[in-house]
Amino acid sequence: MNITSALLAEHGVFYAQFEYLERVVPSAPLSEVKSLAAMLESALEVHADLEDNVLFPPIEAHLQAENGPTAPFREEHDEIRQTLSRVPGARDVEAAREALLRAVELARDHFAKEEQALFPLADETLTAEEQEELGRVWAERRRVRIA
């Protein structure tokens, strides 16, 4: 499995989570909003780490531009993290709901940009062998066995 296929598959799982959150968060109590945000934050952090530390460096190496075309994606990862970080300390349920749903919106937009620009760039920049090797790294970090 190549890395972009693996990351795209993860997006599909996140989309289902986003739909669920958009349905339940508007009426969820504060404790539930915080729990849901913590779960999403944990999953997004692992996903962003894979992109930041597995996918981006070889793209940057090929283009000889550290943080060149990947810089906006790193910045968006940080913006999503910062938005989610507002939830645990929230004392007002509306503020917590707003932060969580804003993070979902940011993540949706971010994923769309990755699917439209970043993954095609990776496909153009990295060889099939490099993509497969990065896919093996993804599988190892995700503890998934690929036949």
Whole-angstrom CA distances from 117 to 33, 72, 86 are 32, 11, 29
pLDDT of 63 reads: 87
pLDDT band (50, 70, 90) for residue 68 = confident
4 vs 69, higher pLDDT: 4
Nearest to 138 by CA among 124, 121, 125, 122: 122
pLDDT band (50, 70, 90) for residue 65 = low
pLDDT surpassing 90 at residue 67: no
